[in-house]
Amino acid sequence: MSLVQLDNYGPWTVTPSPRRETDLQALQARLYATLADFVGAHDGYAFFDRFDNMIAVTDGMTVADHERFQEQIRNQFPVTVSIGVGVGETPTDALGAASQALQAEGSAQDAERTERLATAGEIGETTGSLTIAHFDVVDVTGEFTDRKAAGETSLAIQRATVSLASYLREEHEGIARFVGGDNIIALCPSLDEGAFEAAREHVKTTTGIDLQVGIGEGETPHEAGYRAKLALEECRETGRRVDLFGPRATIDQ
């Protein structure tokens, strides 16, 4: 897991005077799009997280790959980024290691901390499969989009995301993030279908929102994520709430 953090971003936003919020939002969106394109080209996954802090699943990416991303940001944007990279048995372990490595380099608002690349463990040679689960709301159009006010729908999706993310972190050391629409993607240890059913039931009990989930495993985030998307399509077509698409399935590159 890689934690990408904008250098000295808070002070920059108000120097020499406070910058327009819409300009900052546009900058953050472009930065995230650049990260998503870059890690996607390496079969990784990116999540906007808090925008000034973004996270990515970067199995197989080397130190040199991360340095190239930093160079690209420096050349294309008026800001720079520092990156912490961590390896772990679970997503929470890996992101925690990445966070600690970057924090050891100095504060995010330290003007002297620029383009640091901090690693925790050997990176670039990670082996073994990983699991990605793709959740969405059952019949979100019929239940929410076409029936309720947009603000109410957004709050409902946020509640479901927080409930799911908290449960997966506490029970399985997984990481779940909202990725747009009604979609939530989770990085998990290898779990059986019962564990995902329990996660669904937790969200339904705490928020009243019914989720369905496709689960995929693979050697790269792309492989696992694509299998998860295919499994989610099976849920939509069959009415199943949990579907596991096996690791031997053919991946359409």
What pLDDT was estimated at residue 246?
54
Q: How are beta strands 117-120 and 81-86 bridged, if at all?
A: parallel
What pLDDT was estimated at residue 249?
44
Gap between the Cα atoms of 189 and 161, Å rounded: 19
**pLDDT mean by block of 10 residues, the chain; 253 residues:** 94 91 96 98 95 94 96 96 95 96 93 93 76 96 94 96 98 97 95 95 97 94 94 94 69 46
What pLDDT was estimated at residue 121?
78
The residue among 66, 59, 64, 117 whose CA lies nearest residue 88 is: 59
Gap between the Cα atoms of 156 and 206, Å rounded: 11
What pLDDT was estimated at residue 245?
78
Domain ranges of the chain: 2-120, 130-244
What pLDDT was estimated at residue 200?
97
CATH homologous superfamily for the domain 2-120: Nucleotide cyclase, GGDEF domain (3.30.70.1230)
Q: What's the CATH number for 130-244?
A: 3.30.70.270
Gap between the Cα atoms of 231 and 185, Å rounded: 13
**Span between the terminal Cα atoms of the chain, in Å:** 23
Query: 204 and 163 in contact (C-beta within 8 Å)?
Result: no
Gap between the Cα atoms of 250 and 223, Å rounded: 9
Q: Which class for 212: exposed (0-12), middle (13-18), buried (19 or more C-beta within 10 A)?
A: buried
- DSSP category for residue 212: E
| β-pair partners for 112 | none
What pLDDT was estimated at residue 129?
81
Gap between the Cα atoms of 211 and 120, Å rounded: 35
| Reported pTM | 0.92
Gap between the Cα atoms of 33 and 47, Å rounded: 10
What pLDDT was estimated at residue 175?
98
Gap between the Cα atoms of 19 and 222, Å rounded: 37
Do the domains 130-244 and 2-120 match in fold?
Answer: yes
Q: What are phi and psi of 181, to 5 degrees?
A: 65, -120
